[in-house]
């Protein structure tokens, strides 16, 4: 049984499965598949919630299983299973074959075994022992909620989540790799109230592959930032709706580019026919001031990875260069179906999802202007210091709430305003991003799509949008 041979958190992880995995893949090829992929996973996750001055939830979760995908021509079938015996894996391959109703048993070439194991775990084996304990996390979360000033604050929450994942990726093209991943994130959320006035604020911090990062988190500084932002907005007037220029702050301001444009550059959108940029490669789709990048290689960033979930090392992809579309974000299926080469972007939440083309660290590159120059260029507009939630349509229509905003009058920030919503369409807004600041910063987040929720980084410098619809009163 495979389940008795996998030695999780051990130097033999990945090696002791080789013979059986080769046998399973050979079986799929013999049934007529052009390509067979196996993704094995062992995970150890935890979430902890602090409300006011006590811990209200501790939720550990563990997972172990395999996702098996087969391709025949441009079609694919996917089956996941918790049965890691030979019988279970073989049965899953048979189910995937049946999904595609394969009758042609001929293959272009035979499976010749795996290449040498690519082991990305050498410096990561001790991570699970180095991360903070539940007691340590709980104590610091309570410290963080206690650090929040109580004046007019009616809700104080702190949350922590950890995802530790060990994987083996094996496929019929010879790919054979093993990796360990670790992601930690911590956030603060508050609600303030005074008579009829109400506001809320939040901040989230995260890292990849840094077991001690939570211990270094400055919870007092984070608490002060959240409190100040929330109180600034408590008595703010509502913004007047209309078309106006806006300046979007750096860090999490990049969520709009991620949601409204980044998804449209994933090959899954080309396959669905939902992206307006499908036939725009090497054409201008944005203002010449804008260059956008997606990569998975920045150390410690929330969307970084040593190897993607299809066994390919990540690369830096320049998506847009000086306003011209240069590349799409592609996985194996995207390469097969659209012709756009893989970019190390095949990602999935866990073994129960098939990998798909997904963003990693996606951001607008820094420009030459200071934040003050962007604001000074506007006589009447809006400064969006912090973004909240929003929604995006299939073809790039979006609306995002502004959590913290300020009016710009004659090139200066004036009074705070609330109730603002940015409304637009990616293909119309992109040409209007006319100035990019020199203060690029990134922020962690989670992205949900066809292959589940994955950790990502969004980011940008301060940017100016010449005109956008601002919803309000």
Residue the block writes with tokens 């506007």: 378
Would you give the DSSP letter of residue 422?
A: E
Q: What are phi and psi of 22, to 5 degrees?
A: -65, -40
Return the pLDDT at 108: 66
Return the pLDDT at 389: 81
Q: Beta-carbon neighbour count of residue 357 at 10 Å?
A: 31
Would you give the DSSP letter of residue 231?
A: H
CA–CA separation, 338 and 74 (whole Å): 10
DSSP state string for 58-78: EEEEEEEEEEEEEEETTEEEE
**What does the chain come to in residues?**
473
CA–CA separation, 222 and 426 (whole Å): 32
17 neighbors 168 (Cβ within 8 angstroms)? yes
130 vs 48, 120, 123, 212, 437, CA distance in Å? 18, 18, 12, 7, 38
Which class is domain 2-234? alpha beta
74: its two tokens:
């441009």
Q: Is 124 left (phi over 0), alpha (psi -120 to 50) or beta?
A: alpha
CA–CA separation, 8 and 344 (whole Å): 25
Burial of 379 (0-12, 13-18, 19+ CB in 10 A): exposed
Per-residue burial over 335-345, b = 16 or more CB atoms within 10 Å of its CB, e = otherwise: bbbbebebbbb
CA–CA separation, 454 and 442 (whole Å): 16
Across 32-126, the runs of DSSP E, i.e. the strands, are 35-51, 54-72, 75-81, 118-119
Q: Where are the domains of the chain?
A: 2-234, 237-471
Burial of 457 (0-12, 13-18, 19+ CB in 10 A): buried
Nearest to 169, CA basis, from 184, 181, 179, 154: 179
CA–CA separation, 419 and 197 (whole Å): 12
CA–CA separation, 253 and 250 (whole Å): 5
pTM of the model: 0.93
For residue 234, the number of C-alpha atoms closer than 13 Å in the C-beta half-sphere is 18
Return the pLDDT at 5: 39
Return the pLDDT at 131: 96
432 neighbors 245 (Cβ within 8 angstroms)? no
pLDDT tens digits, the chain, 473 residues: what are they? 333 334 333 334 445 589 999 999 999 999 999 999 999 999 999 999 999 999 999 999 999 999 999 999 999 999 999 999 999 999 999 999 999 988 777 766 688 899 999 999 999 999 999 999 999 999 999 999 999 888 899 999 999 999 999 999 999 999 999 999 999 999 999 999 999 999 999 999 999 999 999 999 999 999 999 999 999 999 999 999 999 999 999 999 999 999 999 999 999 999 999 999 999 999 999 999 999 999 999 999 999 999 999 999 999 999 999 999 999 999 999 999 999 999 999 999 999 999 999 999 999 999 999 999 999 999 999 999 999 888 888 888 999 999 999 999 999 999 999 999 999 999 999 999 999 999 999 999 999 999 999 999 999 999 999 999 999 88
Return the pLDDT at 103: 78
264 neighbors 304 (Cβ within 8 angstroms)? no
Work out whether strand 176-194 and strand 118-119 pair parallel, antiparallel, or are unpaired. Answer: parallel
In terms of C-beta distances under 8 Å and separation of at least 24 residues, what long-range contacts does 150-156 make, across chains too? 152/192, 152/193, 152/194, 152/231, 152/234, 153/190, 153/191, 153/192, 153/227, 153/230, 154/191, 154/192, 154/193, 155/51, 155/189, 155/190, 155/191, 155/200, 156/51, 156/52, 156/188, 156/189, 156/190
Return the pLDDT at 1: 32
């Amino acid at each position: 049984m495979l389940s008795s041979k996998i030695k999780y958190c051990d130097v033999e992880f990945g090696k002791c499965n080789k013979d059986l995995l080769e046998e399973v893949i050979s079986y799929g090829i013999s049934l007529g598949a052009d390509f067979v992929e196996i993704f094995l996973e062992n995970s150890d996750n935890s979430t902890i919630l602090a409300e006011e001055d006590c811990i209200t939830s501790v939720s550990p979760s563990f997972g172990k299983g395999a996702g098996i995908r087969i391709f025949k021509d441009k079609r694919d079938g996917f089956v996941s299973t918790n049965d890691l015996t030979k019988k279970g894996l073989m049965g899953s391959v048979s189910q995937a074959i049946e999904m595609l109703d394969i009758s042609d048993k001929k293959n272009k070439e035979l499976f010749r075994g795996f290449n040498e194991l690519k082991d990305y775990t050498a410096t990561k084996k001790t991570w699970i022992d180095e991360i903070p304990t539940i007691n340590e996390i709980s104590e610091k979360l309570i410290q963080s909620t206690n650090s929040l000033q109580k004046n007019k604050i009616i809700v104080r929450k702190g949350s922590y989540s950890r995802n530790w994942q060990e994987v083996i990726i094996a496929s019929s093209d010879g790919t054979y790799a093993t990796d360990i991943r670790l992601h930690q994130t911590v956030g603060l959320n508050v609600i303030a109230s005074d008579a009829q006035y109400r506001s809320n604020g939040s901040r989230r911090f995260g890292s990849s592959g840094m077991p001690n990062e939570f211990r270094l988190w400055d919870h007092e500084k984070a608490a002060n930032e959240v409190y100040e932002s929330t109180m600034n907005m408590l008595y703010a007037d509502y913004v007047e709706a209309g078309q106006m220029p806006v300046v979007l702050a750096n860090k999490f301001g990049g969520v709009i580019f991620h949601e409204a444009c980044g998804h449209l550059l994933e090959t899954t959108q080309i396959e669905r026919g939902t992206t307006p940029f499908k036939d725009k490669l090497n054409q201008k789709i944005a203002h010449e001031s804008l260059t956008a990048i997606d990569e998975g290689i920045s150390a410690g960033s929330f969307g970084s990875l040593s190897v993607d979930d299809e066994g390919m090392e990540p690369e830096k992809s320049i998506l847009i260069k000086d306003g011209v579309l240069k590349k799409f974000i592609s996985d194996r299926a995207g390469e097969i179906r659209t012709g756009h080469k893989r970019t190390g972007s095949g990602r999935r939440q866990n073994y129960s999802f098939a990998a798909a083309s997904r963003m990693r660290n996606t951001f607008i590159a820094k420009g030459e202007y200071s934040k003050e120059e962007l604001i000074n260029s506007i006589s009447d507009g809006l400064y969006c210091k912090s973004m909240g939630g929003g929604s995006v349509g299939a073809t790039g229509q979006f609306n995002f709430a502004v959590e913290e905003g300020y009016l710009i009058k004659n090139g200066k920030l004036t009074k705070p305003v609330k109730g603002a919503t940015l409304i637009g369409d990616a293909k119309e807004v992109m040409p209007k991003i006319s100035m990019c600041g020199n203060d690029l910063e990134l922020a962690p987040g989670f992205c949900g799509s066809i292959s589940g929720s994955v950790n990502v980084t969004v980011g940008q410098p301060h940017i100016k949008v010449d005109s956008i619809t601002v919803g309000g009163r």
